[in-house]
Structure 1
Amino acid sequence: MAEDLLINKGTKEEQYQALLPQIAALIEGEPDLIANLSNSAAALKEQFNWWWVGFYLVKNDELVLGPFQGPVACTRIKKGRGVCGSAWEQAQTLVVPDVEQFPGHIACSSLSKSEIVVPIIRDNSVMAVLDVDSEHLNHFDETDQYYLEQLVKLLSF
Structure 2
Amino acid sequence: MFETKKIEGDKSAFYKELNTQLRYLLEGEDDYIANLANAASLLDVHLERINWAGFYLWRDEQLILGPFIGRPACVRIPLGKGVCGTAAQRLETLIVPDVHQFPGHIACDVASRSEIVVPIVVDGRLIGVLDIDAPVVERFDEGDRAGLEEFVAVLNQQTDWSKM
The bucket for the TM-score relative to the shorter chain is over 0.9
Alignment size in residue pairs: 156
**Superposition TM-score, scaled by structure 1 size:** 0.96
SS of the equivalent of 2:16 reads helix
Partner in structure 2 of residue 37 of structure 1 = 36
Partner in structure 1 of residue 75 of structure 2 = 75
SS of the equivalent of 2:56 reads strand
Q: How many Å separate the matches in 1 of 2:18 and 2:150?
A: 11
Q: How many Å separate the matches in 2 of 1:138 and 1:152?
A: 21
Q: How many Å separate the matches in 1 of 2:46 and 2:102?
A: 27
Q: Deviations over 1:115-156 (max 9, x none)?
A: 000000011011110000000100000000001000111222
The letter of the residue matching 1:10 is: G
Matches within 5 A, 1:4-153: 4-49=3-48, 50-153=50-153
Q: CA deviation at 1:11?
A: 2.5
Runs of 5+ unmatched residues, structure 1: none
Runs of 5+ unmatched residues, structure 2: none
SS of the equivalent of 2:112 reads coil
Moved over 4 A (4+): none
2:19, 2:154 within 8 Å by CA — same for their partners in 1? no
Q: CA deviation at 1:30?
A: 0.4
